[in-house]
Each structure stands twice: as structure tokens, then as C-alpha cells.
Amino acid sequence: MAKAEKKYELRLYIAGNTPKSSAALRNLKKYCEEHLKGLYSIEVIDLLINPKLAEGDQILAIPTLVKKVPEPVRKIIGDLSNEAKVLVGLDIRPVK
Amino acid sequence: MFTSDVHGMSKRLKKKAAPVRGRKLEKTLTGIDGLDQITGGGLPKGRPTLVCGGPGSGKTLLGIEFVVNGAVKYGEAGVIMAFEEKGDELSTNVASLGFNLDELQRSGMLKIDYVHVDKAEIEETGEYDLTGLFIRLGHAIDSTNAKRVVLDTIENLFSGLSNEGILRSEIRRLFQWLKDKGVTTVITGERGVTTLTRQGLEEYVSDCVILLEHRVQNQISTRLLRVVKYRGTFHGTNEYPFLIDADGISVLPITSLELNSDVSEDKVSSGIASLDKMLDDGSGFYRGSSILISGTAGTGKTSIAASFANATCQRKERCLFFAFEESPQQIIRNMRSIGMDLQACVDKGFLRFHSSRPTMHGLEMHLVEIHKMIVEFKPRVVVLDPITNLVTIGSVSEVKSMLIRLIDFLQKEQVTVLFSALTYNNSTTEQADEGVSSLVDAWITVRDLESNGERNRGLYIMKSRGMKHSNQVREFVITDEGLQLVDVYLGPDGILIGSAREAQQLEEVTGQELKTYAGTRRDREILRKKTILEAKIASLQEEFESVRDELTRAHQEEELRKEIMAKNRNELTRNRYLNKKQSQSPKSPKPNGKGRKKI
């Protein structure tokens, strides 16, 4: 894995500790460990605590994963259960 | 529920003033002219209302006006959640209507949240819900303590997110959640082909549905509003035309079915003294009545209308003049030529003109416009000149229905209205007049009277409810000093008009002169005869005197003679007796010879 690769900044928006939220977080962590080890940071934002933050990232659905960096900004909504879709959405080439 | 009528509605409105008790549906005033009337007090409080309509029908505007009015007029904060336009776009768009959204946002009475949904940016995987939206909305509502919410247009979610099942259940949950929060919500929705909204949102909003339409007929557009349903309350069910102008939306529910407006004993002058004299006690029409002036082309209808307007302004009352044919400048110029200075009235603010081509917009829009201007200017007199032109944009029955509502409204406001209507020479009856002749209180007809190769104007009163009026056809002349009715001139062959009248008048003056001359000559003749006769009488008297003298003398002579004769006889008798006595003295008693003989 090339060290020149950019670091992934990921934000996961959740609203309380719902099954969908925890599933999403679990799935995300799994994919990142598999494909982006050491290259990612995950920020979990609970909108129940910080409702103001929802507007900035145009959050509608919960859970929503926002990839801020690298560009382009992408959003993935849902519990991230479909690995292929998440990887495409995050623009990650899966490690073979 | 849907059998409501306006009668019931107005009753309800009256009741509204009383404190609401029990489980009566509470309502939130929209502050939109007319809409509150139709709905009997506004939208259902704390419940969602669906406003649907085609593109450009004014949905967004209605929603924004609802929230802005809440903030400005009723002190209720509001939230606009925009799915279509960005906050600043929205601000710019409604700024032309005098809504300052930025200012309201700064003062904390309004919160605009723009929800951007872009399919290209979003990847869906697995289960999700729209709690994010709820949280945003909840935050906006809580931070401003909002009572009013607009969701414009929530259906945009369907284009951004593909899982319709989730969307539908989430939208249903959203509406329920809004209800629980107790905010009055307006949800806008694009009109579908067979459904009220494309996504069938009406399924979820069961309390109140308002449909907006933008209809174009004969190239003339009319905006219409209809309350499709309103659960638990009476409401107006008609399609009501509405207007979007510099003040936003105004709906016009002129459909009063009740004929119970107040009437006035007060009278207003027509501005033509001689016309007033034809009416009852000579002081004009009743205030608040409707007057129709019909006539063929060029008979002076506008002039009559203008003098009515002028008279109103002279009384220092306001008059609103709707001109459908001429521009104000034209009318002012034309009326100056007959000695009326309307410009002065305009300058003093008593007279206001409103000129518009009938084809400018639909009939209903004209009504809305007229209504709006009347409410704003508060005139005592309204002139519509002429109503005939309105037929170009609607059928006669439509025009009639519009005018009925207008007359209704004006009567309620105690505004006197004067219509002018053009009749055509070839019309078989006098009843053309857009069928309003039966509605109006007074009807004056001006028509051409053709005779002796000239055309004159004749004016007569066809009807005037509630007052005596002249049955005469009066000749009507337009002079430099204004309008006048000439006294009726009955010649030997009937009524004379125009030059025939003038000729007859001249002839009469001549005749008078001749008569005077002839008169004096005859007088002298009689005087002479009288003198002669008097002389004759004197001589006859003399004659009579002499005859009588004669007669008296004759009588006296006769008397005298008789007297003398009698005296003589007595004398004679006594003399004889004496003689006998003397002769008989020795041989007594012998009275006479006869006696003696017998003895």
C-alpha cells in the first residue's frame, strides 16, 4: 500500500444508539480495517447531541456516511450492509 | 362535511369572535386576504395542510406568505424548509412582494433551512430512515419556537432517494410528528396527472387540502383556489379566483348569497340637476344603489358617468373610476371640453382612475382587482365604464355572474355604483346590457332619436326602484357647461326635439309678438265701440226720460180732471139740494118730487 495515498476523513452521522447506527458503524469499521488500514479517521456525530451539525452536511437520512476527503464529497446512506456499494461510494479499490 | 355553503360559513365567522370552547377545531389565521374567509378562520391549528397545484400556481408563495404573515402579523415564528430553492434564492424571489426574509431571520422569527438532495452525491445501501430531517426540522422549530412550518416541496425527496417504501413511511411519520409537535404546517405538492399530488401525499394529509390552479382560457389566465377538503369544519367549496400582486396573494370570495345588506335613505346627486329632478324629490339616486346607463354609441354615457363622478368629488367623497375603454388622460381631456375639471378632483385625491384593457386578464381577475382597489381606496362611488367590453373576455352569463357579485359586494359596503353599457341599434329588445338590467336599482337609457334628418339624444328612466320617477323622454344635450336635459316640448304633433324644437320655440316667440300686437288693436276697437254704445245709451236714456215725462203729465192731467169733475159734481149736487129746500119750505115735508108723487 502506497504511503502517498491520501488519508480518508469519514464522518458518520447517527441519531442515538439505534440498531441501524451501530450496524453502520460496525460495517464501516470493518471495511476500513480491511481496505484503508492506517489511512482513515472516523468521526461519529450524534445528531441528538449536536442537531446543529445536520444542516452543514445536508443530512437527511440516518445513518449517513460522509466522505469529506478526498474529493469529491460523497454520501452513503443506510446501514452500509452492502460492501461493494460502500466501497464504490468511497471510491476505494478493494484490497485483493 | 362537504355540503357546506357560504351561508354557514359566514355564520361561523361571526361565531368565531366568541371564545372557542369545547372540542371545536381551532384554526390558525393565514393573514391572506380572503383565504381566512373561505376556510372560516384559517388553516387547522397544529395540523398539516396540503397545498397542491401545477407549476407556477403560487404554492410556494402561499406557504411563504403563511409563515411571513405569522411572523409579522401574529407574532408567531416560522420555519421554511425548502427542498427546491436555496434560502437566498427564496429571499430574492419573494423580496418583490415586500417580504424581507433576511430581516426576519436575523430577528429570529424565521428560520429557512434548505434541504439539498442530489442523487449523484448519494449512495444508498441498506436500511435507513429520515431522522436527520426530523432532527433538522426539530432543531429549527425549537430554536425559534416556531408555530408555523412550510415544507416546500417535500416531494423532491422522491427524486433524490430511491427507496420509495422508506420515504413513504417516513413522510407519514413526519406528518404525524409535526402534528404531535403542534405546529401548523403547509406542505406544498406538485399536481399529479390523476392525483392531487404526484406522490399521492394527499393520502397522508387528511385534514385540509387546498388546490391551486392556473387556468388559461382564450389566452387569458386566471388563478383559482379551491379548498378540496377541510375536515371537521365548514368551508367555501367554490373555485375562488385569486390574485398575486405586489402585496402577495389575495383571494376573493365574493359569493354572498344573502340579500340582506343595509339600505340607505340617503340620496346622491347624479351631477345633472335636471336629471335629479326626474327622480322623486329631485335629489338623485339612493346611496348604495346600482345605476345602469345604457345607450347606443355616442350618446354621452361616459359624460353622464363623469358628471356623476364629478358630483361625488364636489361633495368631497371619494370616487373610483374604472375605465375599460379610455385612458384617464383621455377622459380628463374630453370632460374638460364640457366644462368638467376632473384633473382637479384627481389632484385633491377624491378621484382615482383605473384604466385597464378588459383583455388584460380574466373576468374573475378583474373582479379581484376591482375588489382590492375598492377595499384599499374606500370610495363612496364606483364607476365602471363600460361593462360591455367585458364580454370580450367572457360569456354574457359569466359577465352577469361577475357583476352580480360585484353589486353584492358594493351594496354591502354601501358604495353607489354606476355602470355604463353599450346597446346596439339593432338589438331587438332593450334588455341587452349584459343582463344586468334586472339587477340594478336604477336604469337610465340614452338613445338616439332620429327625425327630420338629424340625430338627437333622448334620455329616459327605465326604472328606479323605490322612488317616483318621470315617465318623460327628455332631450339630452351636451353643452360647454356640462350636461343638461331640455324641458319637454310638446308640439302639435307630439314631442319635438332638436331643431324642430328650436324652430317651434322660435315660432312661438313670433306668435307671441303677433298676438300681443293683435290684442292691443282689438282692445282699442272694443273701447271705441264701448264709447259709442255708451253714447247711445245716454241718448236713449234721455229719450226715455222725455217719454216718461210725457206720460206723467198725461196721468196728472187725467187725475186733475177727475178731481175737478168730482168736485164739480159735488158742487152741482149740493146746489140742487139747496134750491129744492128753498122751494119746499112752505109745504113741508116734501123731500122731492118723486116721493111726493108716490104719496
Query: Nine-digit cell at B430?
Result: 332593450
Q: Does ipTM come in above 0.85? A: yes
Cα-Cα-Cα-Cα dihedral sign, residues B71, B76, B81, B87:
positive
Give the residue extent of every domain in chain A: 8-52+61-90
Q: Which residues pair with B319 in a beta bridge?
A: B351, B381
B523 touches chain A (CB under 8 A): no
Kindly determine whether residue B127 and residue A48, on different chains, have CB atoms separated by under 8 Å: no
- pLDDT, tens digit, 9 for 90 and up, residues A48-84: 888 888 888 888 888 888 888 777 788 888 888 888 8
- List the single residue in A with minimal CA-CA distance to B116: A58
Kindly determine whether residue A89 and residue B123, on different chains, have CB atoms separated by under 8 Å: yes
- Give me the total of CB pairs closer than 8 Å, taking one residue from chain A and one from chain B: 98
Cα-Cα-Cα-Cα dihedral sign, residues B278, B279, B284, B290:
negative
B119 touches chain A (CB under 8 A): no
Domain A8-52+61-90 homologous superfamily, CATH: Glutaredoxin (3.40.30.10)
Angle formed by the axes of helices B59-72 and B87-95, nearest 10°: 80
Helix, strand, coil distribution of chain B in percent, nearest 5 = 45, 25, 35
Kindly determine whether residue A48 and residue B117, on different chains, have CB atoms separated by under 8 Å: no
Kindly determine whether residue B115 and residue A60, on different chains, have CB atoms separated by under 8 Å: yes
Q: Are strands B239-245 and B110-114 parallel, antiparallel or unpaired?
A: unpaired
Q: Are B189 and B199 in contact (CB under 8 A)?
A: yes
Q: Give the Cα separation of B491 and B547 in Å (integer).
A: 61
Q: Are B401 and B273 in contact (CB under 8 A)?
A: no
pLDDT at B49: 92
Q: Give the Cα separation of B295 and B476 in Å (integer).
A: 12
Of the residues B128, B151, B157, the best mutation for testing chain A's interface (the one with the most A CB atoms within 10 Å of its CB) is: B128
Three-state SS for B137? helix
Provide the strand spans (E) within chain A.
Answer: 8-14, 40-46, 64-69, 74-77
Chain A hits for B125, Cβ within 8 Å:
76-82, 85-86, 89
pLDDT at B235: 81
The DSSP result for B454-518, as a single string, is EEEEEEEEEEETTS-B----EEEEEETTEEEEEPP-EETTEE--HHHHHHHHHHHHHHHHHHHHH
Q: What angle do CA B63, B69, B73 make, to 5 degrees?
A: 165
Question: Residues of A at the B interface (Cβ-Cβ below 8 Å)?
Answer: 13, 15, 20, 23-24, 47-48, 51-52, 54-55, 58-64, 72-82, 85-86, 88-89
- List the single residue in A with minimal CA-CA distance to B112: A55
10-residue averages of pLDDT along chain B (599 residues): 43 44 78 84 90 88 91 91 85 84 89 85 84 89 92 85 87 90 91 81 82 82 86 82 81 59 80 85 86 85 89 90 89 89 90 84 79 87 85 75 82 86 61 66 84 81 85 82 77 73 84 88 92 94 93 93 91 84 61 49
Chain B hits for A55, Cβ within 8 Å:
113, 136
pLDDT at B428: 43
Three-state SS for B590? coil
H or E element that contains B186: strand B184-190
Helix, strand, coil distribution of chain A in percent, nearest 5 = 30, 25, 45
CB neighbours of A6 closer than 8 A, spacing ≥ 6?
Answer: A39, A69, A70
Q: Are A12 and A25 in contact (CB under 8 A)?
A: yes
Q: Give the Cα separation of B538 and B549 in Å (integer).
A: 16
Kindly determine whether residue A76 and residue B123, on different chains, have CB atoms separated by under 8 Å: yes
Q: Give the Cα separation of B463 and B331 in Å (integer).
A: 28
Q: Are strands B267-268 and B248-251 parallel, antiparallel or unpaired?
A: unpaired
Of the residues B121, B131, B162, the best mutation for testing chain A's interface (the one with the most A CB atoms within 10 Å of its CB) is: B131
Chain A hits for B113, Cβ within 8 Å:
55
Chain A hits for B105, Cβ within 8 Å:
none
* Block residue for cell numbers 129746500: B581
Chain A hits for B128, Cβ within 8 Å:
20, 61-64, 77-79
Taking Cα atoms as reference points, which of B89, B381, B117, B488 lies closest to residue A75? B117
Of B116, B121, B128, the CB nearest to A61: B128
pLDDT at A95: 56
H or E element that contains B526: helix B498-584
Å from B61 to nearest chain A CA? 24
From 3.40.600.10, 3.40.50.300, 3.30.70.360, 3.40.50.10610, which CATH number describes the B6-251 domain?
3.40.50.300
From 3.90.1300.10, 3.60.15.10, 3.40.50.2020, 3.40.50.300, which CATH number describes the B267-488 domain?
3.40.50.300
Give the residue extent of every domain in chain B: 6-251, 267-488, 491-527
B121 touches chain A (CB under 8 A): yes
Chain A hits for B130, Cβ within 8 Å:
60-62
Question: What b/e string do you get for B325-342 counting C-beta neighbours within 10 Å, with b at 16 or more?
Answer: beebeebbeebeebebeb
pTM: 0.67
Query: Nine-digit cell at A67?
Result: 466522505
Å from A10 to nearest chain B CA? 15
